[in-house]
Amino acid sequence: MNRSIAAADRGTERTMVFVLYDKVTLQDVAAPLEIFARANDFGARYRVLLISPTGQPVGTTAFTRLSADIPVTDAPDSIDTLLVPGGVPADFTFAPGTHDIPEELTPDTVPEALAMVQELAPRASRIASVCTGAFVLAALGLLDGRRATTHWAHCARLAREYPRIKVDPDALFVQDGPFVTGAGISAGTDMTLAIVENDYGTDVARRVARWMVVFLQRPGGQAQFSIWSEAGAPTTRGLRQVLDAVVLEPAADHSTAAMAARAAVSERHLARMFRDEVGMTPARYVEQTRLEAAKLLLVTGDEGQESVARRAGFGSPETMRRIFRRNLGVSPGGYRSRFRTTGIDRQETEPDQDD
């Protein structure tokens, strides 16, 4: 939605409060901070405060500590947006080599995070979370009856442990009333750009995105980063190489015979490996990978659909159009046209015809 922001709205200062706790995810904080700062360069008026339980610096999941501006006891009475980043308990230790599907604890087990959000939430007009920060909101019952998302690796757990939440495992961010939940880590960028657009208009958000060299709205959902949410994580090295080859060169020959030869197994055995380790057929995996490649090409370039279809491995625009309709319910042209804003709080009707 290309919002028209009144002059009075453009001049409104908005207080954005970040909740910091020990072992917070650094990028969950750093990316939104950078976006708010750059938005101010282009006319926004954000006042940002970093709050920790005592006002002291906190540890992060990366190689540094974060300073806080004030303790929670000095928090303002009126908060435009309360931001809750993801993280882990202070005593949690990551096990090397196990991060394809992290088995980390989430911050709903961090008493300080829960206490700060519980105290500050009533003062906030809007509450946003990044990554596993959604678990803090969930534990406090703030997301009950609402749609929400979190990091793709934790969506199943969020839905299982908090069944009153309608979890969207593919969305990069979800807005439901005054709550905005972002997906995993870098999706905080997508979510924060959406907040900027909502607050100060599409032009400001677009200028920030251009300056930071990121999409104003990234094509596809977070499922593409897990090789689609329906795909499992293969343990067989040969199969992993087959999957990577499809992603790296979607237009190459990825027939079952070619993939079986690449993995040095029979076609029948390859199909069994896909079924057991990926959770889909070889043909389904290839189709979904090519679909993601086409989505990226459509949004990031100006190539015609014939060129996009060829580069993505569909061969012809007709085949690409059929697969888009079957999987997304929209034509390639309609998909291209929809990604012109962040998509926050937007209602639109997709065009029926291709461009």
pLDDT tens, residue by residue, 92-114: 887 776 555 556 789 999 999 99
- C-alpha distances in Å from residue 2, one per residue of 91, 221, 316: 45, 21, 33
- Check: CB of residue 208 under 8 Å from CB of residue 232: no
C-alpha atoms less than 13 angstroms from C-alpha of 189 in its C-beta half-sphere: 20
User: Based on the domain organization, do 256 and 202 belong to the same domain?
Assistant: no
Whether the CB-CB separation of 304 and 262 falls below 8 Å is answered with no
What does pLDDT average to over the chain? 86
Residue 65 pairs in a beta bridge with 59
Query: What's residue 353's pLDDT?
Result: 45
- Judging by beta carbons within 10 Å of its beta carbon (0-12, 13-18, 19+), is residue 334 exposed, middle or buried? buried
- Tell me: do 101 and 170 sit in the same domain: yes
Integer angstrom CA distances of residue 15 from 69, 96, 197, 208, 329: 13, 39, 16, 19, 39
Whether residue 144 is found in the same domain as residue 259: no
Judged against a pLDDT cut of 60, whether residue 86 lies above it is answered with yes
pLDDT per residue as tens digits for the range 265-315: 999 999 999 988 888 899 999 998 999 889 878 877 788 999 999 999 999
Is residue 232 predicted with pLDDT exceeding 90?
no
pLDDT computed for residue 237 by the predictor: 77
Residue 259 lies in a domain: yes
CA dist 161 and 142 (Å) reads 14
What CATH number did the domain enclosing 209 receive?
3.40.50.880
Share of the chain above pLDDT 90, in %: 61
Other CB atoms within 10 Å distance of the CB of residue 48: 17
Distance CA 213, CA 38 (A): 12
The confidence score (pLDDT) of residue 2 equals 36
- Taking only the tens place, the pLDDT of each residue in 302-340 is 889 999 999 999 999 999 999 999 888 889 988 887 655
Q: What is the dihedral of CA 311, 315, 321, 324, to 10 degrees?
A: -60
Residues 152 and 169 in one domain: yes
Report residue 348's pLDDT band, with 50, 70 and 90 as the boundaries: very low
Question: What's the pLDDT score for residue 186?
Answer: 87
Q: What pLDDT shows up at residue 352?
A: 42
- Residue 102 is predicted with a pLDDT of 54
Is the pLDDT at 202 greater than 90? The verdict is no
Same domain (yes/no): 198, 237 = no
332 and 307 in one domain? Answer: yes
Structure tokens at 46: 């954000």
Domain that holds residue 125: 7-217
Q: Strands 124-129 and 147-148, how do they pair?
A: unpaired
Distance CA 258, CA 282 (A): 11
Residues 251-262: pLDDT tens digits? 999 999 999 999
Residues 180, 124 contacting (CB under 8 angstroms): no
> Domain end: 195, 217, 239, which one?
217
Query: In the 3-class helix/strand/coil scheme, how is the chain assigned residue by residue?
Result: CCCCCCHHHHCCCEEEEEECCCCECHHHHHHHHHHHHHHHHCCCCEEEEEEECCCCCEEECCCCEECCCEEHHHCCCCEEEEEECCECCCCCCCCCCCCCCCCCCCHHHCHHHHHHHHHHHHHEEEEEECCCHHHHHHHCCCCCCCEECCCHHHHHHHHHHCCCCEECCCCCEEEECCEEEECCCCHHHHHHHHHHHHHHCHHHHHHHHHHHCCCCCCCCCHHHHHCCCCCCCCCCHHHHHHHHHHHHCCCCCCCHHHHHHHHCCCHHHHHHHHHHHHCCCHHHHHHHHHHHHHHHHHHHCCCCHHHHHHHHCCCCHHHHHHHHHHHHCCCHHHHHHHCCCCCCCCCCCCCCCCC
Number of other residues whose CB lies within 10 A of the CB of residue 238: 15
Residues 59 and 200 in one domain: yes
- pLDDT exceeds 90 at position 13: yes
Length of the chain (residues): 355
Give domain status of residue 323, yes or no: yes
Which pLDDT tens digit goes with each residue over 123-140? 999 999 999 999 999 999
Mean pLDDT for 15-32 is: 97
Per-residue pLDDT, 259: 95
Q: Tell me how many domains the chain contains.
A: 2
- The answer on 54 and 187 residing in a single domain is yes
Residue 254: inside a domain: yes
Report residue 9's pLDDT band, with 50, 70 and 90 as the boundaries.
Answer: low
- What's the confidence (pLDDT) of residue 244? 81
Residue 344 lies in a domain: no
Domain containing residue 317: CATH number: 1.10.10.60
**pTM for the model:** 0.66
Q: How confident is the model at residue 229 (pLDDT cuts 50, 70, 90)?
A: very low
pLDDT at 224 over 60: no
What is the pLDDT, as a whole number, of residue 226?
40
Q: Which residues contact 213 (CB under 8 A, 6 or more apart)?
A: none
Which residue has better confidence, 102 or 350?
102
